[in-house]
Homo-oligomer: A and B are copies of this chain.
Amino acid sequence: MNATIITIGDELLIGQTIDTNSAFIARQFNKIGVSIRQRMAIADDALEIVRWLEFGLKESDIIVFTGGLGPTKDDITKKTFAKYFGVDMKRDEDTYNHVKHIFESRNRPFLEINEQQADIPANGEVLFNNMGTAPGMWFEIDGKIVISLPGVPFEMEFLMTERVIPKIFAKQYATPLYYRHIQTASMGESFLATKIEDIENELPATVKLAYLPSIFRVNLRLSGHENDKTLIDSYFEKIKDTLADYIYGFTEQSVFEHLFYKLKQKNATISFAESCTGGFLANALTEFSGASDIFKGSYIVYSDAWKAQILGVDSHIIEKHSVYSPECVADMHRALLEKSGANYAIATSGIVEPTTHSNKVEAYIAVGNRERVLIKKIDLIYNRSKNKEAIAISACFYLLKEFFGE
């Protein structure tokens, strides 16, 4: 099966909004073996909607629209669909009560324009939207599926995972695939590919191996049908053994999320002494609900004076070795453990972009606990912002790898 994704919205065409919705939808479909034929962003306009709906119906088995369902724009999208399908509107009682309840609980007047949010074209089914007022819609047209979802990301994500995918399974348009993830960091795609070349050559056509690279890391994803489970598991074990040195986990979680849950499991806390990462680590680890269980505080020590006077780094070390040295991050790590009382600590110091004095773009990190500390030099190849991210990822990777047994 294949799908076409169509995002509606003038704000996409003037470049004001970056479209993250279609990547999310593509990933969900990709996981269940539905390939994406193309994605497009189009204007908030009835003629355009009809034109691309017709295009989608010609090209794909599934056509997903997002956006164009706000209370003020409601009329146009839904009425365009109804007119194109040659049907009237019908009111969905569950949605009506849900929308009414939302307005009442917020003490806002429930106007006719809001009542209409519960109306959908008569040939459609409602995809009940627990997260907002605009329901999703599902149509079956000559054996094709047309889906319309609101453009608000968390509403769309809820409807996609809780309504659309289960319905596709229930109707047996696709079957769940079996997946294994191997999360690696520190080495590039081509390095890993060379390492597991023999295993990859052995793979039967029914088992797919995908390399999904991002900054400083590559996710290897094995997939196939449920009945190839044992086979997939055996290849998973082989790859896992061969790449052991570069693996930090076996889920889809980022290295930050992974570290967050490992710390939570261990009832442990972490603290950071960030120079070159400038707060990236603390900001990343406080993105998760319940962060206060594992994180109590941090120092950002950008200048030499903050490192020495506020964190308590030995200033002789800075004088002798400079702040860009293994010795300095080691002492930052020591001082941080002392001051913070945290179980684990990460210290970073380096140069994140070329300066007028030097082209050397590199950082040192120290990761560990009171028993042991690991120091690494990280060579940097991205721009300033992505280099900060790469250092943060590498620090969490080495901490997980060396201290959390994976």
Residues of A within 8 A of B (CB): 12-20, 22-30, 35-43, 48, 154, 210, 212, 272, 274, 277-287, 289, 291-292, 295-303, 305-306, 310, 339, 353, 383-385, 388
Contact = CB atoms under 8 A, between A and B. Distances in A.
Given A15-B26, A16-B27, A279 B289 contact: no
5 contacts: A16-B212, A19-B22, A279-B280, A289-B384, A292-B303
A186 B272 CA distance: 32
A147 B149 CA distance: 33
B17 A23 contact: yes
B30 A14 contact: yes
B15 A24 contact: yes
A26 B38 contact: no
A22 B383 CA distance: 20
A296 B306 contact: yes
Given A18-B20, A23-B15, A38-B42, A298 B279 contact: yes
7 closest A-B pairs (Cβ-Cβ)?
A: A278-B286, A15-B26, A279-B282, A297-B306, A15-B27, A279-B279, A279-B283
B286 A283 contact: no
B296 A303 contact: yes
Contact of A14 (B26, B41, B42, B305): B26
A154 B385 CA distance: 12
A4 to B, nearest CB: 10
A38 B43 contact: yes
A27 B40 contact: no
A59 B362 CA distance: 48
Given A279-B300, A295-B302, A296-B302, A39 B41 contact: yes
Contacts of A42: 38
A23 B385 CA distance: 19
A285 to B, nearest CB: 8
A259 to B, nearest CB: 15
A280 B287 CA distance: 10
Given A154-B383, A279-B286, A287-B388, 19 more contacts: A12-B39, A13-B36, A13-B37, A13-B38, A14-B27, A15-B28, A18-B23, A38-B41, A38-B42, A272-B300, A282-B283, A283-B283, A286-B302, A287-B385, A291-B302, A297-B299, A297-B301, A298-B302, A299-B299
Contact of A22 (B20, B41, B289, B295): B41
Contact of A388 (B17, B286, B339): B286
A16 B221 CA distance: 12
A305 B300 contact: no
A299 B291 CA distance: 17
A338 to B, nearest CB: 12
A209 B65 CA distance: 29
